[in-house]
Amino acid sequence: MNINNAPWSPPYTIEERIKYALIPAGLYIRHRVRKELRRGEPELSTPEFMKKVRETAGKLSIDPEMLRRAVNVGFSGGEKKRNEILQMSMLEPRLAVLDETDSGLDIDALRIVSEGVNRLRSPERSMIVITHYQRLLDYIVPDVVHVLSKGRVVKTGGKDLALELEARGYAQYQDEAVA
């Protein structure tokens, strides 16, 4: 018997449970949060944890029913991104790398995901937001913009640099990467 192409041989490791999407998103987040307890914070009881998940999900406009579903199974692109932001909100990392967060999002999902990212901004947290399009930066206003070409930073500036890139494109910086 197979479930989501998973071999039927419990007990599964946490990696297998994640791979075969056999655990709900809320439990996966709890596993990840438990790993983060090394920061010296007290462990939350299950009711306290689930209350925090529901509160955080509400702030991100996440349907509570989504928390009962297996991780990313049957999720739309926007739901997957919201789930990622929910996990990031719960883990409260010091450094977050958001790689093309705007990919595949409609305008409403982009706005909701951006609000979640903006809610996490703080002096204690750094975020690297990788995007090819200005539209994400309309919602998440960058402090610093770096242009990368051929593995090198070829230009650094403020939010105006992103607007310049939108107007003129990246071609002018490709030659600089060789020099």
The reported pTM is: 0.67
* Token pair in block for residue 45: 């009881």
Provide the residue ranges of all domains of the chain, joining segments of one domain with +: 2-141, 142-179
E strands of 8-132, at which residues? 95-99, 126-130
Over pLDDT 70: what percentage of the chain?
Answer: 74
pLDDT number for residue 7: 47
Question: How many residues appear in the chain?
Answer: 179
pLDDT number for residue 26: 53
| Class for the domain spanning 2-141 | alpha beta
**Kindly report the CA angle at 142 between 139 and 145, in degrees rounded to 5?**
135
pLDDT tens-digit series, residues 155-166? 999 989 988 888
